[in-house]
Structure 1
């Protein structure tokens, strides 16, 4: 497994393709990569390019979504795919997929034989066949949340929660997914239960406050944010600052400018230097 996915020599970062396909073939570049796990796909090409790149998408539990490049192919006048894997004869090249990848096309199974590929590569069966464990489902849910596909994340996280609701980090990933999908009522119902069971969990305060704020009930968000801020320690300044700036937003929506300014100023003071939350606070005008 390490030889396949952790070799620094061949792990590259692929920039998203920009040009739209104009070929007369039937390839449709309408699939987000996150919906193509364990599938053969084709990458779009520039109009001037003669061939398409194709490969296999899978999830590595450490690296996330990965594209394993198989080679290139051209399409002749009869519609036959003419493959070329000569550049891959001695190399294994894997591209770590960034969230802003453009859509891909599913490689039609009718062309598998022409390209000499199986539905599932042999190395996938060896290194990427998992038992349906809580840890595996949690990790895949985390990966889907990380690339902003929380709908798919819940398909893994909720079954894992049914098996072991006490698995570390699982409750946060579920609440994060609900909030990302704007399913605030479900987030609140879920998090209220978590809060009763684990009243010292800082992330529960943060996500509960966010759910109420975005649902349009800032007054209900305020006590959660204040309690959460009070419980933060010196190693949780980013969370403290995030709750403070959202607390400022709560007061803004309640037309309390004085309290909004107070909490916005505190958020700026607590935000770690150079952090993402510091930049967001500055963008908010504090």
Structure 2
């Protein structure tokens, strides 16, 4: 059944109307700039139609694209819509990944041609705004996932003020601070977080990263070794990262026997699909 739907979807995209393009469409918007807006996806030159839909935030899934249909541009510049596939399969939603191509805003003047409202009625189900720690934490997570940590912190700092130990608020804050090179702020958040959750390996690993970037090598090494031992799984990218960075610190300290031991440990616990595994192999292990 899935193969049939995929085949219909491909045929639907490629089906002919007109090859006229709308030069007014500017594909220059990142999806985070398009929340609660109608957008158009870019197409290859040979495609006959543009796909369009609506961008919104699902607090659990993150930024989401709801495919609404496709349109061709006729000789008079009007948008001629096609919702054939959706009538057969219902709503089609896509979780937006950080590497999505830039989008174009669907011009308001064409909404009527496509029989679209300014805002779809169903969107209200996703926007029950409450200024709670959880709500702000989830939005912080969404923007961290989108690699927009400045925006994430606006929400996470609110959540932290309400309840600093709620869910994973401290981890998300520290992650954002580390990405933004605010390493001392990350340490300030992580130390009390680890005092409360001493066996949380992700918090410990994030603290190791902050110390490493502050060039506090002894502290970073002690924390990374602690993180490595706190991971209970045999293999994971996070555990491999802790072992790999421990090895790199030993190398910087010119402790080559320890460096070799920990590179081998890193290789044993790092999935082969991880970029850390490639780094380890590149160094001859």
Same fold (TM over 0.5): yes
Task: Tell me which interval the TM-score lies in, with the shorter structure as reference length.
Answer: 0.7 to 0.9
Unaligned runs of 5+ in 2: 11-19
Query: Secondary structure at the residue paired with 1:89?
Result: helix
The answer for the alignment partner of 1:18 in structure 2 is: none
The answer for the alignment partner of 1:71 in structure 2 is: 69
Number of aligned positions between the proteins: 270
Q: Distance in 2 between matches of 1:137 and 1:82?
A: 40
Deviations 1:160-179 (A, max 9, x none): 22222121212111112222
Q: What is the TM-score when the length of structure 1 is the normalising length?
A: 0.78
Please state if 1:120 is matched with 2:102.
Answer: no
Residues 215, 284 of structure 1: alpha-carbon distance in 2 compared, 3 angstrom cutoff: farther
Residues 182, 251 of structure 1: alpha-carbon distance in 2 compared, 3 angstrom cutoff: same
Query: What is the RMSD computed on CA atoms of the aligned residues?
Result: 3.3
Residues 275, 82 of structure 1: alpha-carbon distance in 2 compared, 3 angstrom cutoff: closer
Which residue of the other structure, out of 26, 42, 48, is the alignment partner of 1:44? 42
Q: Residue 263 of structure 2 contacts residue 280 of structure 2 at CA under 8 Å; is this kept in 1?
A: no
Unaligned runs of 5+ in 1: 1-6, 16-21
Q: Residue 158 of structure 1 contacts residue 174 of structure 1 at CA under 8 Å; is this kept in 2?
A: yes
Q: What is the CA distance between 1:155 and its match in structure 2?
A: 3.3
The answer for the alignment partner of 2:13 in structure 1 is: none
Q: What is the CA distance between 1:29 and its match in structure 2?
A: 1.0
The answer for the alignment partner of 2:14 in structure 1 is: none
Q: Distance in 1 between matches of 2:23 and 2:271?
A: 52
Q: Distance in 2 between matches of 1:160 and 1:236?
A: 33
Q: Distance in 2 between matches of 1:79 and 1:173?
A: 46
Query: Secondary structure at the residue paired with 1:192?
Result: helix
Query: Secondary structure at the residue paired with 1:119?
Result: coil
Q: What is the TM-score when the length of structure 2 is the normalising length?
A: 0.78
The answer for the alignment partner of 1:138 in structure 2 is: 137
